[in-house]
Structure formats: C-alpha cells, structure tokens
Amino acid sequence: MIVKQEIKLYSHIENYIDLLNEYKEIFEAPKRIQGRCIIHINPISDTRVENGDLEGYHDSINCRYDIYDCENMTVYKDKRLHDRVHLFIPCRTGIYKDLSTMVIIDDGCSFAYHQEVEVHPYEQKYWGGMAVTVVEDNGDGKQLSPDILYIVKK
C-alpha cells in the first residue's frame, strides 16, 4: 500500500536546509551537544516490511534523524532509522512543507539511542544503562521525575 497525501500549498517550498549546508558532516550519532541543537526528522519507510515483519513500533514510520550542533557547525548523520523521539527537555517543533519535522532545543542535551531517540538534559549521564542526572539540592522541594535516577549534590 502506498500512502499519498496532497496538501495545497500557496507558496513555493523554501529550501531552508540549504542554510545548513555549511555544517561539517559527521557520520555517527552524538552522545551530547552542549548548546543549541536541531533534530531534523525525515520519514523514510514503514516499520512493517514487505514480508510482514515489524522493524519498529506498530503503525509508525522509520525516520532518519540528522542532528545539528549549531554552535560547532556540525551535523551528525547516523545510518540507523528510528520511529519516535522521546523528549525529556523543553523544545519547539516545526513541521515543514517537505513533510520533515525539526525539533529545536535551545539548551544542551544528551542522547540515548534505541528504536526511539531519547533526548535528556545536557547534565544527564548514563550509569549501567540507566539515565542519571546530577542535580543541586537547593531546598525548594522540587519534585524530581521517578523515571530518572538522580544523584543529589548537597
């Protein structure tokens, strides 16, 4: 089955990606980016392959994730395909006329890669496969996420 969606556009498609052509390409996935980054998501294929096997989550689309480090002018291009992104930090999202998606993260972040891409705060580390965040205890009684192991510095 081929899915085709037509959207009437009232202006030509601006190729904003041309603005990013001056970035140095690195063919691996980043572990951390210290400043602003952009995750550019392009749909590639169905997660269900021709023989019926599932290569991802049911009813999803495998996508290529190019991750731009805006401060260092580098773009990380990983060969692996992912079908979701799980964000543990504030971000902005844009859907563009070429049907790609850009996730803009203003502060640094760290990544974990599975079938999905997890995006955590920059300060987060990984210990034994578990996300660990080092935080300051400022006594404000702030509730921390139960999904993350925290090391609290007093």
Count CB-CB contacts under 10 A for residue 92.
Answer: 10
pLDDT of residue 131: 57
Average pLDDT for 17-21: 66
Contact 41, 102 (CB under 8 A): yes
Average pLDDT for 108-135: 74
Q: What is the pLDDT of residues 35-69, one digit of tens each?
A: 999 999 999 888 888 888 877 777 788 899 999 99
Domain boundaries, the chain: 17-122, 123-154
pLDDT of residue 148: 52
Q: Is the pLDDT of residue 4 over 80?
A: no
Statement: the pTM of the whole predicted model exceeds 0.85? no
